[in-house]
């Protein structure tokens, strides 16, 4: 599948030339012409990379960068800065941008930076989990918190209330090893009649519903002697 890049930039001509070039390199491209539109798209749709101009109408690139990271999105961000914006570059990196390119930039250099960021985010196995305001997306699965529903490619996957809460807790703690005790405490709230075995039973049933091969789980991993780790 093509990697998708969001360009948030108000200079239309730059958007067009850059968009054409990225498409010719095999990327899928989407655009937003101001900071608010950028936020709408970045928070609702999954992107592999965001190219973000600092000087934008409505919401500045730096504010948007802050908002994206505050929302828990780990999408790589490449800032476009003007030569004079030395301070903004530094602030941008501190706010969570991954790299920057100074305008006017050499397209080959920009492509090299994009390639490096995309490689880095896959090799770091930076979780394929992306977070919207009320949802988590991991691969074809979408966990919708508002509707308390899980879908795979848009088709509902039936979960019990307890399975849903457990999956939600996993999604909130990607890559973290969680002990059975912690899961019992946080998901079941120490109800009477719950045992660590309760966790195992629910993990097993979630695996049946989520994993491609439930006997060789790749999403909810058993960490021997410790508990479980969600690796979306
Ligand atoms: Ca601009």
Give distance in angstroms: CA of 208 to centre of ligand 1: 49
Residues 58 and 104 in one domain: yes
Residues 97 and 40 in one domain: yes
Give distance in angstroms: CA of 139 to centre of ligand 1: 33
Residues 135 and 116 in one domain: no
Residues 13 and 109 in one domain: yes
65 burial type by CB count under 10 A (0-12 exposed, 13-18 middle, 19+ buried): buried
Choose the final residue of a domain: 125, 149, 182. 125
pTM: 0.56
Give distance in angstroms: CA of 213 to centre of ligand 1: 48
Report every protein residue that has its C-beta within 5 angstroms of ion ligand 1: 10, 53, 55
Q: Per-residue b/e over 22-49, b at no fewer than 16 CB within 10 Å?
A: beeeebebebbbbbebbbebbbeebbbb
At residue 187, φ and ψ (nearest 5 deg) are -95, -40
Residues 134 and 222 in one domain: yes
State which residues of the chain have pLDDT below 70. 1, 121-129, 190-194
pLDDT in tens, 193-214: 667 788 999 999 999 999 888 8
Q: 147 is in which domain, residue-wise?
A: 128-230
Give distance in angstroms: CA of 112 to centre of ligand 1: 22
Q: Sign of dihedral through CA atoms 27, 68, 43, 80?
A: negative
Give distance in angstroms: CA of 33 to centre of ligand 1: 9
pLDDT in tens, 148-198: 899 988 889 999 989 999 999 999 888 888 899 889 888 988 666 667 788
Residues 43 and 82 in one domain: yes
Give distance in angstroms: CA of 60 to centre of ligand 1: 9
Residues 85 and 183 in one domain: no
Give distance in angstroms: CA of 68 to centre of ligand 1: 18
For the chain, the helix, strand and coil percentages under 3-state DSSP, each to the nearest 5: 40, 25, 35
Rounded to the nearest angstrom, the gap between the alpha carbon of residue 49 and the centroid of all alpha carbons in its chain is: 10
Would you state the pLDDT for residue 192? 61
Tokens standing for 81? 């800065």
134 burial type by CB count under 10 A (0-12 exposed, 13-18 middle, 19+ buried): exposed
Task: Write out the E strands in 68-216.
Answer: 77-82, 99-103, 129-132, 135-138, 141-144, 149-152, 155-157, 177-179
Residues 121 and 31 in one domain: yes
Rounded to whole angstroms, how far apart are CA atoms 169 and 158?
17
Would you state the pLDDT for residue 58? 92
Would you state the pLDDT for residue 9? 97
| Crossing angle of helices 161-172 and 196-210, rounded to 10° | 90
Could you give the number of structural domains in the chain?
2
Kindly state the helix (H) or strand (E) to which residue 28 belongs, with its residue range: strand 28-32
Would you state the pLDDT for residue 169? 92
Give distance in angstroms: CA of 29 to centre of ligand 1: 18
């Amino acid at each position: 599948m093509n990697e998708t890049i969001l360009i948030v930039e108000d200079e239309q001509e730059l958007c067009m030339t850059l968009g054409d070039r990225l498409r010719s390199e095999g990327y899928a491209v989407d655009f937003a012409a101001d900071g608010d539109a950028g936020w709408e798209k970045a928070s609702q749709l999954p992107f592999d990379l965001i190219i973000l101009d600092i000087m934008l109408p409505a919401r500045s690139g730096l504010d948007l960068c802050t908002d994206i990271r505050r929302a828990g999105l780990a999408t790589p961000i490449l800032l476009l800065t003007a030569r004079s914006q030395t301070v903004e570059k530094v602030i941008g990196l501190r706010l969570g941008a991954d790299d920057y390119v100074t305008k006017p930039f050499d397209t080959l250099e920009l492509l090299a930076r994009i390639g490096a960021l995309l490689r880095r985010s896959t090799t770091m196995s930076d979780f394929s989990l992306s977070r919207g305001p009320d949802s988590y997306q991991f691969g074809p699965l979408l966990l919708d918190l508002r509707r308390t529903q899980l879908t795979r490619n848009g088709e509902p996957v039936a979960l019990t209330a307890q399975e849903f809460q457990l999956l939600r807790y996993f999604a909130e703690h990607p890559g973290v090893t969680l002990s059975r005790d912690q899961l019992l405490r946080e998901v079941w709230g120490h109800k009477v009649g719950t045992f660590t075995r309760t966790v195992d039973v629910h993990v097993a049933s979630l695996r049946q519903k989520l994993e491609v091969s439930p006997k060789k789980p790749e999403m909810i991993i058993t960490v021997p002697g410790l508990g479980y780790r969600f690796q979306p």
